[in-house]
């Protein structure tokens, strides 16, 4: 039981425990209860002291261990019963983590809360692969979108706006709809030959990655047998993956950096 009941909405980062923030690690050792998601790695869960209660509330596509409304109520109940709680989420809690929905419910019910940001998958995983989100002459901006909709309906995205060759597009939870994403972007003017990457369990020990073109990516991902979670990165900056591959990763069906792209680094 805590003298200061509060809910901490904590980002666990992309998976590598060394990318966890100092504050997040400290809180894991101080609170009474940790309520965690499916994407939180085992190595981060191992940091939780043995006497701390753990509650799993993970979600997968079309299968929720606990519906979001019940997660909200759980957090409220735990705090009102005098517990300090870490609500632990993969990546950053406010980027496709539904952390803002939980924060709103906590606020509505008079529960004190604090947000502890984490390294989101887009920046953590792209950096690990040597793919810059922006790069002079190749990408002047970056956009994050979700590739998953409720009830498996068609994605309703701004396809015209997303089909911008000067913008890096990062798609979270896009594995199931990857073929639709590729087709829609090409239909709205993005070159089918623009480089694209798919990364399974980025920054984790079992990470796998492939780099190819937007048109070829869906079939290659199927051929390689990638399963969720997969991050998709589309844009000219992906061509720099081979050149900036500081970890010596093996890229399957790699698109080589051209002399023109290498010149941008001079």
**Cβ(79)–Cβ(85) under 8 Å?**
yes
Say how far residue 258 (Cα) sits from the centre of its chain. 29
Q: Which two tokens stand for residue 166?
A: 């000067």
Question: Quick one: which of 10, 75, 78 has its CA closest to 48?
Answer: 10
Over residues 85-113, mean pLDDT: 97
Q: Which of 16, 32, 46, 59 is catalytic?
A: 59
State both tokens at 247: 């970890």
pLDDT the model gives residue 149: 67
Crossing angle of the two packed helices 68-80 and 99-108, in degrees rounded to 10: 50
CB atoms within 10 A of CB 165: 13
Domains of the chain: 7-116 (3.40.1010.10), 121-263 (3.30.950.10)
Q: Give catalytic status of residue 16 as yes or no.
A: no
Q: How confident is the model at residue 258, as a pLDDT?
A: 45
DSSP letter at 4 equals: S
CA-based nearest residue to 92, from 55, 70, 125: 125
Considering only residues 235 and 153, tell me which one the structure prediction assigns the higher pLDDT: 235
Residue 247's CB is within 10 A of a number of other CB atoms, namely: 10
User: Any catalytic annotation for residue 37?
Assistant: yes
Q: Which of 16, 37, 92, 164 is catalytic?
A: 37
Q: If you write DSSP's letter for every residue of 155-198 in order, what string do you get? A: P---HHHH--TTEEEEEET-STTHHHHHHHHHHTT--TTSEEEE
By CB atoms closer than 10 A (0-12, 13-18, 19+), residue 216 is: middle
Over the stretch 169-203, which tens digit does the pLDDT of each residue have? 999 999 999 999 999 999 999 999 999 999 999 99
Counting residues of the chain whose pLDDT is more than 70, the rounded percentage is 89
Angstrom distance (rounded) from CA 158 to CA 147? 12
The pLDDT tens digits for 125-138 are 999 999 999 999 99
Segment 8-27 shows an average pLDDT of 97
Q: Is residue 144 classed exposed, middle or buried when 0-12, 13-18 and 19+ CB atoms within 10 A define those classes?
A: middle
Residue 13 is classified by DSSP as: B
Among 71-75, 163-167, 235-239, 242-246, the least confident range:
242-246
């Amino acid at each position: 039981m805590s003298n200061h009941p509060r809910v901490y909405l904590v980002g666990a980062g992309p998976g590598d425990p060394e990318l966890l923030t100092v504050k997040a690690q400290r809180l894991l050792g101080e609170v009474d209860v940790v309520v965690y998601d499916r994407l939180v790695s085992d190595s981060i869960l191992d940091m939780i002291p043995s006497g701390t209660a753990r509650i799993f509330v993970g979600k997968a596509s079309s299968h929720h261990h606990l519906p979001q409304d019940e997660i909200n109520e759980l957090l409220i109940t735990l705090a009102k019963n005098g517990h300090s709680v870490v609500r632990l989420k993969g990546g950053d809690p406010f980027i496709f983590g539904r952390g803002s929905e939980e924060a709103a419910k906590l606020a509505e019910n008079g529960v004190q809360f604090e947000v502890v940001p984490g390294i989101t998958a887009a920046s953590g995983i792209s950096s690990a692969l040597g793919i810059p989100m922006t790069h002079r002459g190749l990408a002047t901006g970056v956009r994050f979108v979700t590739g998953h909709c409720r009830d498996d309906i068609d994605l309703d995205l701004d396809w015209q706006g997303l089909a911008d060759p000067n913008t890096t597009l990062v798609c979270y939870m896009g594995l199931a709809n990857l073929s639709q994403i590729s087709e829609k972007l090409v239909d709205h003017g993005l070159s089918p030959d623009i480089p694209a990457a798919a990364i399974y369990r980025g920054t984790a020990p079992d990470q796998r990655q492939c780099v190819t073109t937007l048109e070829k990516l869906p079939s290659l991902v199927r051929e390689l047998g990638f399963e969720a979670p997969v991050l998709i990165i589309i844009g000219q900056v992906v061509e720099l993956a081979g050149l900036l591959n500081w970890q010596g990763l093996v890229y399957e069906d790699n698109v080589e950096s051209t002399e023109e792209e290498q010149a941008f680094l001079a």
